[in-house]
């Protein structure tokens, strides 16, 4: 027989309220440490929100949200054991909540308002995140202001995110990983970035006007011997884009289309300085769309005289003079 465990509300009007749970494979409680980390990531999204605690189990995340100022919470579960504990925990608070005692697929159509904060922490045998997210997209409860939080084991395989959503942040704490997912589209700016220039920074600025999230991805080019190490390039780019909240920097050893398909991204952005640039990039764009279904958007460079090649040649010339 599994022993009972006690968790607590961390902050807000129900601070230190005990949350009962059973630690077995049907109920996987969020530890206080991980819960605190989650709410540190989403603290701006909580107050006044409509919350959906999907696969709610003990209800710990929904109750924590209500404690921190959420306007209303929906708790969804169809496990008799979970519902018994959930109801005991909810009996300790006086707040605006609804319990839906059915599967998540049957519960979503019963919610008749937009939900601004969704927690997803399914039991061990229901970990098809793509399907769950797809159900949310096809429901009528999410909009541009919705934030989705997935708690999963750090060792779990990467999952695909449906088109129309993007990974905003991902953080690991001990054996758990927290993914913050938002409504919108992400785009890739690929290149060797040897070095990253003001022209690339301008490209990031333009991409952010059209997309919710920008991933700057360093790729290998077998026809080039980089002047700067990968570590140095990553540091330079991260320093450049630090001022943008929705830009991440990655290294990927394969092709652009493979990175896009691995991360369910359908657009890339390229900069062009002149017609010769455009003609070359247009051929690459056709290849990417034909072979990977990836569309390319072009932006003309802010300064046609600035390129990584010209800067690299200038730096190499300076070295020879010394």
Q: pLDDT tens digits for 289-299?
A: 999 999 999 99
Question: Using an 8 Å Cβ cutoff, are 60 and 23 in contact?
Answer: no
User: With bands split at pLDDT 50, 70 and 90, how would you rate the model's confidence at 304?
Assistant: low
User: With bands split at pLDDT 50, 70 and 90, how would you rate the model's confidence at 313?
Assistant: very low
- pLDDT score recorded for residue 157: 83
Single out the residue of 195, 199, 242, 245 nearest to residue 218, CA to CA: 195
Q: pLDDT tens digits for 1-14?
A: 334 467 899 999 99
Show me where the domains of the chain are located: 4-183, 186-321
Q: How far apart are CA 222 and CA 53, in angstroms?
A: 48
CA 234 to chain centroid, in Å, comes to 20
Is CATH 3.20.20.70 what the domain over 4-183 is classified as, yes or no? no
Fold exhibited by the domain 186-321: Rossmann fold (3.40.50)
* Largest pairwise CA distance in the chain: 78
> Quick one: tokens of 184?
């919108």
- pLDDT score recorded for residue 166: 93
The highest-confidence range among 195-199, 226-230, 233-237, by mean pLDDT, is 233-237
User: With bands split at pLDDT 50, 70 and 90, how would you rate the model's confidence at 310?
Assistant: very low
User: With bands split at pLDDT 50, 70 and 90, how would you rate the model's confidence at 311?
Assistant: very low
- Does pLDDT of 317 surpass 50? no
- Does pLDDT of 25 surpass 70? no
pTM score > 0.85 for this model? no
Average pLDDT over the chain, rounded to whole? 88
Q: Is the dihedral of CA 299, 302, 308, 309 positive or negative?
A: positive
User: With bands split at pLDDT 50, 70 and 90, how would you rate the model's confidence at 70?
Assistant: very high
Q: Name residues whose C-beta falls within 8 Å of residue 86's C-beta, 6 or more positions apart in sequence.
A: 56, 57, 58, 59, 75, 77, 99
Q: pLDDT tens digits for 245-284?
A: 899 999 999 999 999 988 889 999 999 988 888 999 999 9
Share of the chain above pLDDT 70, in %: 90
């Amino acid at each position: 027989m599994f022993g009972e465990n006690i968790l607590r509300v961390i902050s807000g009007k129900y601070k230190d309220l005990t949350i009962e749970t059973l630690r077995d494979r049907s109920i996987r409680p969020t530890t206080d440490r991980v819960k605190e980390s989650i709410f540190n990531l989403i603290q701006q999204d909580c107050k006044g929100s409509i919350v959906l605690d999907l696969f709610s189990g003990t209800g710990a995340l929904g109750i924590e949200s209500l404690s921190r100022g959420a306007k209303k919470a929906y708790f969804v579960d169809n496990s008799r054991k979970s519902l018994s504990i959930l109801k005991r925990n909810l009996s300790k608070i006086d707040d605006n909540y609804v319990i839906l005692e059915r599967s998540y697929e049957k519960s979503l159509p019963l919610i008749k308002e937009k939900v601004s904060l969704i927690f997803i922490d399914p039991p061990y045998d229901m970990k098809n995140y793509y399907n769950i997210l797809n159900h949310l997209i096809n429901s009528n409860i999410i909009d541009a202001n919705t934030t989705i939080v997935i708690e999963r084991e750090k060792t779990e395989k990467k999952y695909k995110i449906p088109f129309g959503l993007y990974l905003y942040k991902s953080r690991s704490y001990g054996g758990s990983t927290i993914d913050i997912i938002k409504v919108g589209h992400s785009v890739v700016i690929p290149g060797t970035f040897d070095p990253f220039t003001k022209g690339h920074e301008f490209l990031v600025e333009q991409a952010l006007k059209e997309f919710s999230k920008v991933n700057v991805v360093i790729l290998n080019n077998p026809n080039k011997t980089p002047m700067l190490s990968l570590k140095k390039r990553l540091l330079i780019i991260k320093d450049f884009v630090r001022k943008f909240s929705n830009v991440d920097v990655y290294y990927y050893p394969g092709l652009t289309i493979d990175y896009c398909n691995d991360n369910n991204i359908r657009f890339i952005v390229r900069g062009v300085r002149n017609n010769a640039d455009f003609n070359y990039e247009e051929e690459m764009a056709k290849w990417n769309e034909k072979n990977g279904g990836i569309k390319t958007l072009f932006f003309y460079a802010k300064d046609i005289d600035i390129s990584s090649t010209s800067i690299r040649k200038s730096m190499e010339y300076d070295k020879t003079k010394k």
